Chains A and B, each alone.
Chain A
Amino acid sequence: MNYQPSDFLPIFVQLAAAMGFIVFTMIVTHILGPRRSTKLKDEAFECGIESQGDARTPISIKYFLVAILFVLFDIEIVFMYPWAVNFKQLSWTGFWEMAVFMGLLLAGFVYVIKKGILKWEK
């Protein structure tokens, strides 16, 4: 099938509509909205309580580790989907290759647990 440049016109219309909506709402809210600024209003919002300290406080590394582990295993599980779709064509070769992949993943998981990354009370 041959596409002409004109076939992509709807995309540009969509793009223009999306951009136009943003520009329109930003301008309109600036014009229409009343502006009464007080000292309290200009503060960074923090659940209605007075804000305390700096935003740059050290946070426990455990949050980061859990987040990165989630991303890691999540992404690697995504590889299961193409395998599932092509399960029959790939047959045993695909199965063994996937077994190696899952084996490596499991080894990593065991390592993570043994390293005590999921231990919270320490």
Chain B
Amino acid sequence: MTPVIALSLFGIINLFLGFTFKRQSLQVVTLLFIICSMALTAMDWNHEYLWFGDMMKTNNLSINFSLIIQLAGLLVVAFSNGFGKDEVYTQPAEYYAILLFSLVGALLMVSFQNLIMLFVGLEILSVAMYVLTGSDKRNLRSNEAALKYFLMGSFATGFLLFGIALVYGSTRSLYISGILYNLSHTAPESLPSFLYAGIILMGIGLLFKISAAPFHFWTPDVYEGAPTIFTMFMSTVVKTAGFAAIYHILDVTFGGFQKNWIITVYFITIITLILGNISAAYQQSAKRMLAFSSISHAGYMLLTVCANQPSTSSNILYYSLAYTLATAVSFAVLMVVAEYQTGRTEKPENFDALNGLAKNNPSLAFAFTVALLSLAGIPLTAGFWGKFFVFTDMFNKNLTYPIIIAVLMSAVGIYYYFKGIISVYFNSGEIEKIETSFLFKIALWSACIGTLVLGIYPTLLKSIF
């Protein structure tokens, strides 16, 4: 797993570069680091390797997930703009280093072969996120969010660990291969009942991280309190890595026990869909709306985990990619507008603050619109095909009721995503031309074009996945 080692080293190098480099050059260096590790990831394509005492396995699926995660990291770094001009209270070198370290955690989560590795990866990712959530030290909201996230997150990790312990106790192995071997060589009736409790507890720990209801209560507050750039990171990287882990645990490892966990996960999926979408419709703050939208998208992705078809892994990949591109763009536009509006309006992250964006910033408004359309699942954008594949999966499994709920809920989704589009294009407001950096523009446009290309040629990536 060369990218894991490379990213760890790059993170340490980044810490030291912070003593001499300016923030803009640090941003470029970090971008190069991530591109370098993406190249290292892609080099293992079509090979299967076991690493670190057989505790990790890289294959094409894990490489795809790793690439999406690192692409999300790349977008976040490109949008970060060196974290503003505040010399005293922002530490760009440390932020970039922590971002790189958390990518390491995410990579461990997508390619683990041993439950300990899953735990280590999850902790590396989560602890980094706790720190970054509270990085706006003088903002009370950010502090509150960090503390809340930390307390709830460590509690959820406790559930995961308890689940791992129960699974280990009943299968006598921490290795996925060992668990599968022991499960297939034991009669189902002689398996201890706490194995099922272990599966559900592990599921709870992971479902918390992807903010599925009823474990979603931290999401809106944390997403709103954290600096927008880190919210973007949280909603893309953590979600993708979390889904890779959930797929690996529920579908690959315990797919044979589907009848034991499926009812629970169904229930969770359906309330995630309903709660996420309905609450999003009530939000005044665009950032909070995006937080609830991230909950609802977790619901859509859980649908395909429930279906557990051969195409499930590729559908999760496609959905994650579509969601990552769209969320990154919408948060990026929201971030620059909120920066502009700070001091001008009372609530710079509300929908009202976006009023009249299209007049002087047509490109930002267009990118925002494409991103929101993709999140809403309108055809010709990547989000449409993401939903389409998920619903197809469900349909093949003859699960009609969840599809009906999901389709109804995407209709609710159209309402609140279009609220953003309406305030950008049709409401009147005074927003002057907002200057953005070169890297920001490139990232914005490539993510936008990526969304449209994936929407027009979904087979382009489907053939690779």
Interface residue ranges, A against B (CB under 8 Å): 104, 107, 110-111, 114
- Tell me whether B16 is interfacial, beta carbon within 8 Å: yes
B176 within 8 A of A: no
- What would 4 more interface pairs be, CB under 8 Å, given A104-B12, A114-B19? A107-B12, A107-B16, A110-B16, A114-B16
Residues of B that sit less than 8 Å from A by CB: 12, 15-16, 19
Chain A residues near B19 (CB-CB < 8 A)? 114
Chain B nearest CB, measured from A66 CB (Å): 19
For residue A115, which residue of chain B has the nearest CB?
A: B19
Give the residue name and chain of the B residue nearest to A104 (CB): B12
Query: Which 7 A-B pairs give the minimum distances between C-beta atoms?
Result: A111-B15, A107-B12, A114-B19, A111-B16, A104-B12, A114-B16, A107-B16
Interface SS, A side: helix
Chain B neighbourhood of A110, CB < 8 A: 16
Dominant secondary structure of chain B at its interface with chain A? helix
User: In the assembled complex, how far is the CB of residue B120 from the closest CB belonging to chain A, in whole angstroms?
Assistant: 16
CA distance A107 to B12 in the complex (A): 8
Q: Which A residue sits closest to B91, measured CB to CB?
A: A115
A104 to B8, alpha carbons, bound, how many Å?
10
Chain A min CB distance to B423 (Å):
42
Most B-side CB within 10 Å, residue of A104, A110, A111: A111
How many A-B pairs have beta carbons closer than 8 Å: the answer is 8
CA A52 to CA B429, docked complex, whole Å: 55
Nearest Cβ in chain A — how far from B93, in angstroms?
10
The contact sample of 8 A-B pairs, CB cut-off 8 A, is: A104-B12, A107-B12, A107-B16, A110-B16, A111-B15, A111-B16, A114-B16, A114-B19
- Chain A: minimal CB distance from B125 (Å): 19
By a CB distance below 8 angstroms, the chain B residues around A107 are 12, 16
Minimum CB distance partner of A103 in chain B: B12
CB-based nearest B residue for A111? B15
A42 to chain B, nearest CB (A): 35
Cα separation A107 to B15 with both chains bound (whole Å): 10
Which residues of B lie under 8 Å from residue A111 when comparing CB positions? 15-16
Tell me the nearest residue of chain A to B8, going by C-beta.
A104
| Cβ–Cβ < 8 Å partners of A104 in chain B | 12
Q: Complex: how many Å from CA A104 to CA B15? A: 12
Give Cα distance in the complex from A111 to B19, angstroms.
9
A107 to B14, CA, bound (A): 12
- Give the CA-CA distance A110 to B12 in the complex, in Å: 11
CA distance A114 to B12 in the complex (A): 14
Q: In the complex, what residues of A have CB within 8 A of residue B15's CB?
A: 111
What is the minimal beta-carbon distance from B149 to any residue of chain A, in angstroms? 20
CB distance from A94 to the nearest CB of B (A): 14
Chain A hits for B16, CB < 8 A: 107, 110-111, 114
Docked pose: A114 CA to B16 CA in angstroms: 9
Minimum Cβ distance to chain B for residue A106 (Å): 11
Query: Closest chain A residue to B13 by CB distance?
Result: A107
Nearest Cβ on chain A to B48's Cβ, whole angstroms = 25
Smallest beta-carbon distance A65→chain B, Å: 14
Give bound CA distance, A111 to B14, whole Å: 11
Smallest CB–CB gap between A9 and chain B, Å? 28
Residues of A within 8 A of B12 (CB): 104, 107
| A120 CA to B19 CA, complexed, in Å | 19
State in angstroms the CA–CA spacing of A104 and B5 once bound together: 12
CB distance from B7 to the nearest CB of A (A): 14
Q: State how many angstroms separate the Cβ of A4 from the closest Cβ of chain B.
A: 23
Closest chain B residue to A114 by CB distance?
A: B19
CB distance from B216 to the nearest CB of A (A): 32
Q: Complex Cα distance A110/B18, Å?
A: 13
Q: Give bound CA distance, A104 to B13, whole Å.
A: 11
Task: Report the separation of the CA atoms of residues A104 and B16 in the bound assembly, to the nearest whole angstrom.
Answer: 13
Q: In angstroms, how far is the closest chain A Cβ from the Cβ of B97?
A: 10
In the assembled complex, the Cα of A114 lies from the Cα of B18 at a distance in Å of: 11
